[in-house]
Structures are given as structure tokens and as C-alpha cells.
Structure 1
Amino acid sequence: MSVALETKPSSELRQGALGLGFIVFFVISAAGPLVAIAGGFPIGIMLGNGAGTPSLIIATVAILLMFAAGYTAMSRHITNAGGFYAFTARGLGGTAGGAAALIALLGYNAMQIGLYGMFGAVCSGFLGTHFGIDAPWWVCAFAAMLSIAVLGYRQIDLSAKVLSLLVFGEYIVVLILDIAILKAGGAHGIDFVSFKPRTFLGGTPAIGFLFCFASFIGFEATTIYSEEAKDPKRTVPLATYISVLLIGGFYAFSLWCIVIGAGSADIVKTLSALADPTTFMYSLSDHYANRTLTAAMSVLFITSVYAGLLAFHNSASRYFYASGREGLLPASLGRTHASHSSPHIGSLWQSAIAAVVVLVFVVMHADPVLTLFSWLTNVATLCIIALMALSSAAVIAFFASLKSREEGALRVVFFPLVSGLALLAVLVLAIVNFPLLTGAGPLVSYGLTALMPVFAVAGVVTALRLRSRDRHAFDRLGSSRL
């Protein structure tokens, strides 16, 4: 009898498993600070507004803080692993919530799966360069996938402990290089050209903004872990603000140091001359520090991608879990492991989908970085920006429906309105410039952007089917679970 009770299926996540620090580590690892600094921003600087990129980071932080004002206010009323989906459902209704749920599943799965292309490529290159091992990229990707599947299936705090070690190392190596550049005085002395208005507006700031917003993807995941957080009404808002400020401060300072290291007038020319702009950080490390730091950076670049894989796997599995628990997807997804209290069915689904998609790209002999990584992670960026804009509207509608006025209009009307409009503008810019972002032709690029409305319509259909068979379940979509 006792054995039967122990193995009875559960639908509850492991409450109180995550403190403030672990949630912040999950968010930072999803943002991938080293991947952004070494991999994304060199391209963003080259295509965007060059030396003015640190200023764009500060502007991006300002927009995200306005978004966070309403987002965290609503998080005090809703504790649900569905994150954006839950907020949209409670603010804009179950039909919009269904659309948000499917967009979120597309976005988080696309980001996680796309990262396997980057991981496989850099890991394969590292093994060949340092150990003479000729391992195909997909072997490295599937090896990582197996370990991610195990960690995602088990207890959430085990994943958090792995991430905390990896993220700490990323910050250390980049900050060491930053200090070395400042100590040497950079290429032409320390200056603040990056923060002058003419530099901020120079080049193509619209493109630069896209890279800046993409580098913060993952910060919004604080609410996804709310059901597993200690004191979620306090922890989730704190984790959100700390994550935005920590990531933003790190990016702005490090990018300023990078600009100084190359010279504010020369950085775009220097990057354009490189066959691969993502090697720029390594050349700076060789010049201002030493090869030991460069080697450490190359290893931690791999672990940074791995940390992102694990963080986005956990996010995707929780969206599967929330959607299954509330009736949008099969009910089996809403079960948790009897021992680990993890969304293990959602974790298995995510791993299976990742395996199939990566296998398709392998069979097609596609380039892991230029196709798998570039295409899917940019689709994910579109999805997350759209979800943030929806959430901004949901905040305004949710608090307008409340009889009590606990929050001021500045926090739940003005800030969400301004941030929502800014996010919509960024979304339009991203769609218009999608061929430039993906490096693919117009047909493929706009075919990829079409995935988002297709999934949104599928989500609406799913929600309407739920309403027809269970109106009570439909009305409770996104409700607080604690």
C-alpha cells in the first residue's frame, strides 16, 4: 500500500526548491553572457551602430525595467509556471492565453534546439584544435542532449547547482579581460565616446537594438520558476530586477571595455576585416591578457552554451507542463515525477523534439551555426519579444479589471504601455530585417517568421476546443497555483 502511494502520479512541482540566487543563475545562464559578449555582440557592433552599442544596452535596460515594473506587479497576484502564457490568459482572456502558450512553446523550444547547433560546432572545433579529435558537430550535440535530458528529468536544484558554477566562471574571465584592457589603456587611451549622443545615433541603431534585446532573452523566466521558488511573491520580483541590472551592467561595462580595446574609431573596421567576428574576443585576450585566459575563455564559451541549453530546456519543459496541467495539451504533460517533483514528461517531450529536429538538420547536411543556430534562435527572439508585448497589454487589462487599486498608475499603466509600444517597434524591426538577422534568403526568412502566427492560430484553436468541452477549465487558464 505504501509503495502504491509513493509512486502515485503527482501534478505538483517541488515547492520551495529555489532561492533567490538559484533563480538569478537560471536567468543569467539563459541570457548566456559569454555567448552574447563573444558571439553575438561582435556581429551586432559590426552591423549596428559600432562604438555606440554600450549606450544601446543602457537604453534597452531602461525599456526592460519599465516592462519589469508591471510584470513584477502582476507576479504578486499570479504564481504559475506558465509565465507569459499565464499572464496573458489572466489579463487578455483564455483565447489569447492559448495563443501565448503555443508561441511560448515555439520560442523556448526553438531557442533550446538552435543552441545545439552552436554547441556542436564550438565543441567539435575545440576538440579538433586542442586534442586532435575529429568529432562531427552532431556527435557533440547529441552527447550534450543526453546529459541535458538527465538533468532536466531530475530535481530542479541539481540543474541550478550545475548552472551556478558555469555562470560564475563566465563572469570571471570576461571581467579579467575588461580589467586588463583598462589597465593597458586600450588601443588609444580610455575615453567615453560610446556614450555621446552622436555615437549612440550613429550607424544603424535599429539593427543594434535587435542584438541588444536578443542578448537579454531569458531574463523573463523568473516567473516560470515561481511555483518552485521560496517566498515567490518576494523572490520573483527581486530576481527579475537583479537579473536585468546585473546582465545589463555587465554587458554595458564589458562592451565599453571592448570598444576601448579596439579603439572607438576602429572597432567596426577591425571586426569587418575578420573572417569570423566571433574570434574577436580571443584576439583581444591574446593581446591584453595571455593565452591561458584565452584558453579558459574558449572552454567557458562551450559551457556557456551548455548552460543556456539547460536553462531553456527547463523553461520549455515547464511550459509543456503548465499547458498539459490546464488542459491545452495532453494531460500527461501536467504530471510531475513522484520522487523528483520535476515536469519529467514535459522534459522528455522537449528532449524528443530536439532530437528529431537536430537529426533533420544532420540528414540535410546543414551548417550547424548558419542554419540550425541562426534560424531557430532568431525565430525564438521574435516569439519572446511578441510574448513580452502581449504581457505588457495583459498587465494593463488585468489591473484595470481589479476593484482595488494596490498599484499606482505609473507602474501598471504608463510603464507597461511605453514598454509594450517599444517592444512592438522592436518586433516590427526584427521581422523587416529578418533576412539580415538569419543570413538566409527572403523566402526562407519570411517562411520562418510565419511560424509564429501559425502557432498563435493553433493556440487559439486549442483554447476554443477546451472551452467547448470544459468551460470551467477554460475560465481558469493561467490561474495562480499557490
Structure 2
Amino acid sequence: MTDITSTDRLRRNALGVAAVTFFVVSAAAPLTAVAGGYPIAMLLGNGVGVPLAVLIVMAILLIFSVGYTTMARHISNAGSFYAFTARGLGGVMGGAAAYIAVLAYNAMQVGLYGLFGAVAAGTVAGMSGGAIDQPWWVWALAAWALVGIFGYLKIDLSAKILAILVAAEYLIVVLLDLAILGNGGPEGISTVSFTPAAFMTGEPIIGMLLCFAAFMGFEATTIYSEEARDPERTVPRATYLSVLVIGIFYAFTTWCMVIGTGSSKLMETLGGLADPTTFIFVLSDQYVGSWLTTVISLLLISSVFAALLAFHNAAARYFYVLGREGLLPAHLGKTHNEHQSPHIGSVLQTVLGVVILAIFIVTAQDPVLGLFAWLTNLATLSVITLMAIVSFAVIVFFRRQPQLEGSGFKTMLMPLLAGAALAVIAYQVVTHFDVLTGASPALAIGLPILVPIAGILGAIVAFQMKQSGSARFAQLGAHQDK
């Protein structure tokens, strides 16, 4: 492996709190979650209790964020989960976390191409009266090309694009929420959704797991720490802000969705739809008008594109960091002379994307039930597993260096609670993987196994580095100076 020169650095001081927040909020794809994820969470999960499930998930993630952001003040590294694990639990565990993270962000990014292709194909065909009726993969490949270009260029260009797209998503959904509240719905405004009885209806575990999937991406604030201005303050603020913005928005919107049909008729309404993901369009037609439905349809396309771009940037930065630190080929640790972007990592992610897309196209898999459902749930499992590992890494890190932070609340209690809760949730994802994905029994077993396989491969690579006597092993995940 060759040493990474001082010029092969990510672009410093490029992102403020707002920009980092937009990256992680767009990765969560708020409109995509509202239109696609939450109606399914209601139908398969706990129905009218989903708004409370959102708040419970938000609380768990806020607890996780306490230790996560406390450690982020001392470790600035675009490797995020990998870096924290390596500094807390050692280089071999860091290598395991690194490869699981690569699996997570690439699976999430590629899986989203299936959803993008399906949404774009259906929307454009409908609006054009069938005049433009292309297969899903044509639109997926168009998005793939655009994402590859933006990922290659300066990071702040992506931030500006995401800011516009995400702001539009929030505004249009809030407009629908306010219209529903203003009308009061068929049964009036009620807070029944926030009661324990409502939460325990149906399958609350499934409801919570699907709510977790809607938050994925919030943890990526630390990935941009090397490019952030004043990361010791920017990253913690952006993390808390992201969790609160996403959580409050989801809780408020799902509550309005329940009011829109009335709590007693919610499940009947969802069950009567040929596709539960059309629920938001039914509400927009009823409470605002067809023009809003058209706007939401278009913004749903941009929502998925924004998530594609955000996860592409995250995956590219992981490739860059692992190349820089010796866990992957050193060429990945190069940055572009002009853009200071991880351009080789970006190209690699782009190539992986088109290869996996080609496999799903050739085998004629369903873009949503196959490509999207399988890979994004695999990514969700990977990220929850990583968060559990990082929580315990935080505890060990500060126990070894107690002079860095004196608060046991931040460095012991909160990480311990988060780690235990997240480990239980990861187990629940594995045991309910067939329900969450609709995958065959073989795939419901085979896909989750990829997580420990990735971890074992990463641990082997790191262990070999240690055995070779490489001085770089001791520096895995180290803080990167500005």
C-alpha cells in the first residue's frame, strides 16, 4: 500500500450544519417514507399506533446519539462507524465494521434504483397518457448516470441540489398535513394514535422495525466530519437536528394520515387499496386536489433521487477512507485534484451499481419487491448492527481515556442503553426478515448472513495487517486533523 499524500484529502470547511443536515435528511427520503414506507408500516404493523412508534424510535436514536456525538467531538474521520469502532474496540473489530458499512451503504444505494425506476416509469407513463412508457430500468440507468456525475464533483454542489429537493418535499407534505388538520377528517382530530393501547394493536414489532428503516441515513453526519466547518460542533448539532426534524415530521405526518381517514377506518381503507403506497395520493386528492397529487408524484421521483445521491456520497467516502487507511487498495484513497472529491471511490460505487442493476434486469426481478425491498432491508440491518457495535465502542473508548470526558451519563449510561436496545432490534430484524422483505425462506436466511460474512472478511483483512507488523494498523480510524 502506498502512503496517502497531503493532497489526497477531502475538501475542508465545505459544509455547515445546514448542509450536513440536508445530506442526512435527504438520505432518509422523507417523502418516500411517507408515501411508501409508512402506509406499509400501518398495514403490516400497528395501524393507528404508528405515530407513537415513530416517537419511540426517535427516542432510541436520540439516546444513541448522546454517546455517538460525544465521541465525534474527539474523532473526526469520514469512516464514521468504522473509525469509532476501531478507536474503541481495536483495529480488527474496526475492519469488521468497515466492511459491514461498505455493504450497508452500497446495498441501500443500489436498492433505491429499483424504487426510483418503478416510481419514475409509472409517474411519467401516467402523466403522458402512455405516450412515454419505458421500462423501469431505463429510468434507473438515467438516475445512475446523473448520480455518478454529481458524486464525482464537489461536495457542496450535491449539498445545494439536495437542499432544494428536500425543502420542496417537506413543504408539500406539510401543506397536505395542514389541509387534513384544517378539515378535521371524518372523525375529528384525535390523539388516540399516541396512546399505549393504539401502539400495541396489530404487530407493533413490525411497525417499529419499518419506522427504523425510515430513519436510516441520519447517522451519516459523522461521514462528513472531515468536510465540515468546525466539526466538533457541526456534527453533533447536525445529528440531533436530523433526528428531531425527521422524527417530528414523521410523527406529525403519520398522525395526520390517520386523521385523514379516521382511526376506525384506517385499516379498512389501506386494505382496500390495490397498492397501499397510493394512500398519500388518495388523501391529497380528497383534501387538496389533483394538482397536489401531481406535484407529490413528481417530488416522489426527486425524493428517491436525493436519497440515491446522499447514499452514493456516503459509500464513496467509505471506499476513500478504507483505501487511505489500508483496508482496501490504496488508489481508492485518492481525491480529485480540483474537486477534492473521493472520485475513485465514487466511480467504484457507480460501477458496482450498474453491475448489480444488470443482474436484476437480466433475471427480470421486480424492481420494488426484489431490488428495493431486499437490499434496503439488508442495509437497515447492517446499520442497526453497526450502531449497536459503536455504542459499546464508545464505552470502551472513554473508559480507556477518562480524561477526555467526565460525564458517565454520556459515555456509559446512554451508550449502554442504546447498545442493548439496538442489539435487540437487530435480532428482531433478522427474525422478521421474511415479513419485512417478502423474500423466500432461502433469501430470508441468506441475505442477513451477508452481514456477519462482511464483518469476518473485514476482520481478516485488518488481522493480516496487524500480523504483517504494519505501522498503519495502530492508526486505523485515527482522528484526521483539519
TM-score range, shorter chain: over 0.9
| 1:182 alignment counterpart | 181
Letter in 2 for 1:223: T
Does 2:13 match 1:16? yes
| 2:191 alignment counterpart | 192
| 2:127 alignment counterpart | 130
For 1:185 and 1:475, locate their aligned partners in 2 and report how far apart those are by CA, in whole Å. Answer: 61
Letter in 2 for 1:62: A
Does 2:426 match 1:427? yes
* Cα displacement (A) at 1:9: 8.8
Most deviating of 46-55 and 196-205 = 196-205
1:72 pairs, out of 66, 69, 85, with: 69
Most deviating of 231-240 and 461-470 = 461-470
Q: How does 1:330-409 map to 2 (within 5 A)?
A: 330-404=329-403, 406-409=405-408
Secondary structure of 1:112 counterpart: helix
Secondary structure of 1:206 counterpart: helix
Q: How does 1:88-107 map to 2 (within 5 A)?
A: 88-107=85-104
> Cα gap change, 1:134/1:9 in structure 2, threshold over 3 Å: closer, same or farther?
farther
Percent identity of paired positions between Structure 1 and Structure 2:
54
| 1:37 alignment counterpart | 34
Does 2:44 match 1:47? yes
Secondary structure of 1:324 counterpart: helix
For 2:345 and 2:7, locate their aligned partners in 1 and report how far apart those are by CA, in whole Å. Answer: 13
* Cα displacement (A) at 1:468: 2.4
Structure-2-length-normalised TM-score: 0.97
* Cα displacement (A) at 1:10: 3.2
* Cα displacement (A) at 1:229: 0.1
1:84 pairs, out of 74, 81, 86, with: 81
For 1:76 and 1:238, locate their aligned partners in 2 and report how far apart those are by CA, in whole Å. Answer: 11
Letter in 2 for 1:257: C
* Cα displacement (A) at 1:187: 2.0
* Cα displacement (A) at 1:470: 4.2
For 1:334 and 1:171, locate their aligned partners in 2 and report how far apart those are by CA, in whole Å. Answer: 36
- The question of whether the paired residues in 2 share the 8 Å contact of 1:45 and 1:51 is answered with yes
Secondary structure of 1:471 counterpart: coil
| 1:446 alignment counterpart | 445
| 1:464 alignment counterpart | 463
Structure-1-length-normalised TM-score: 0.97
Letter in 2 for 1:413: M
For 1:383 and 1:309, locate their aligned partners in 2 and report how far apart those are by CA, in whole Å. Answer: 18
Letter in 2 for 1:431: V
Letter in 1 for 2:32: V
| 2:113 alignment counterpart | 116
| 2:162 alignment counterpart | 163
- The question of whether the paired residues in 2 share the 8 Å contact of 1:85 and 1:101 is answered with yes
* Cα displacement (A) at 1:412: 1.0
For 2:479 and 2:154, locate their aligned partners in 1 and report how far apart those are by CA, in whole Å. Answer: 22
| 1:285 alignment counterpart | 284
For 2:458 and 2:342, locate their aligned partners in 1 and report how far apart those are by CA, in whole Å. Answer: 21
Q: Deviations over 1:92-150 (max 9, x none)?
A: 00000000000000000000000000001111111211122011111111111111001
For 1:472 and 1:388, locate their aligned partners in 2 and report how far apart those are by CA, in whole Å. Answer: 28
For 1:339 and 1:87, locate their aligned partners in 2 and report how far apart those are by CA, in whole Å. Answer: 29
RMSD: 1.0
For 1:181 and 1:29, locate their aligned partners in 2 and report how far apart those are by CA, in whole Å. Answer: 25
- The question of whether the paired residues in 2 share the 8 Å contact of 1:89 and 1:98 is answered with yes
For 1:403 and 1:358, locate their aligned partners in 2 and report how far apart those are by CA, in whole Å. Answer: 48
| 2:269 alignment counterpart | 270
* Cα displacement (A) at 1:232: 0.3
For 1:337 and 1:468, locate their aligned partners in 2 and report how far apart those are by CA, in whole Å. Answer: 32
Letter in 2 for 1:371: G
* Cα displacement (A) at 1:272: 1.3
- The question of whether the paired residues in 2 share the 8 Å contact of 1:9 and 1:335 is answered with no
- The question of whether the paired residues in 2 share the 8 Å contact of 1:44 and 1:208 is answered with yes
* Cα displacement (A) at 1:202: 1.8
Secondary structure of 1:227 counterpart: coil
* Unaligned stretches of 5+ residues in structure 2: none
For 2:176 and 2:102, locate their aligned partners in 1 and report how far apart those are by CA, in whole Å. Answer: 37
Most deviating of 348-357 and 265-274 = 265-274
Q: Deviations over 1:31-90 (max 9, x none)?
A: 000000110000001111110111111111111111000000000000000000000000
Secondary structure of 2:241 counterpart: helix
Letter in 2 for 1:20: V
- The question of whether the paired residues in 1 share the 8 Å contact of 2:405 and 2:411 is answered with no
| 1:25 alignment counterpart | 22
* Cα displacement (A) at 1:453: 1.0
Does 2:233 match 1:219? no
Q: Deviations over 1:132-177 (max 9, x none)?
A: 2011111111111111001000100000000000000100110000
| 2:54 alignment counterpart | 57
* Cα displacement (A) at 1:405: 5.4
Letter in 2 for 1:480: H
| 1:139 alignment counterpart | 138
How many residues are aligned here? 475
> Cα gap change, 1:9/1:364 in structure 2, threshold over 3 Å: closer, same or farther?
farther
- The question of whether the paired residues in 2 share the 8 Å contact of 1:156 and 1:342 is answered with yes
For 2:368 and 2:355, locate their aligned partners in 1 and report how far apart those are by CA, in whole Å. Answer: 17
Secondary structure of 1:128 counterpart: helix
- The question of whether the paired residues in 2 share the 8 Å contact of 1:79 and 1:223 is answered with yes
Letter in 1 for 2:473: F
Q: How does 1:200-215 map to 2 (within 5 A)?
A: 200-215=199-214
> Cα gap change, 1:190/1:450 in structure 2, threshold over 3 Å: closer, same or farther?
same
Q: Deviations over 1:174-233 (max 9, x none)?
A: 000000001111121001100112112222111111011111100000000000000000
For 1:31 and 1:73, locate their aligned partners in 2 and report how far apart those are by CA, in whole Å. Answer: 23
Secondary structure of 1:228 counterpart: coil
For 1:362 and 1:239, locate their aligned partners in 2 and report how far apart those are by CA, in whole Å. Answer: 38
Does 2:448 match 1:477? no
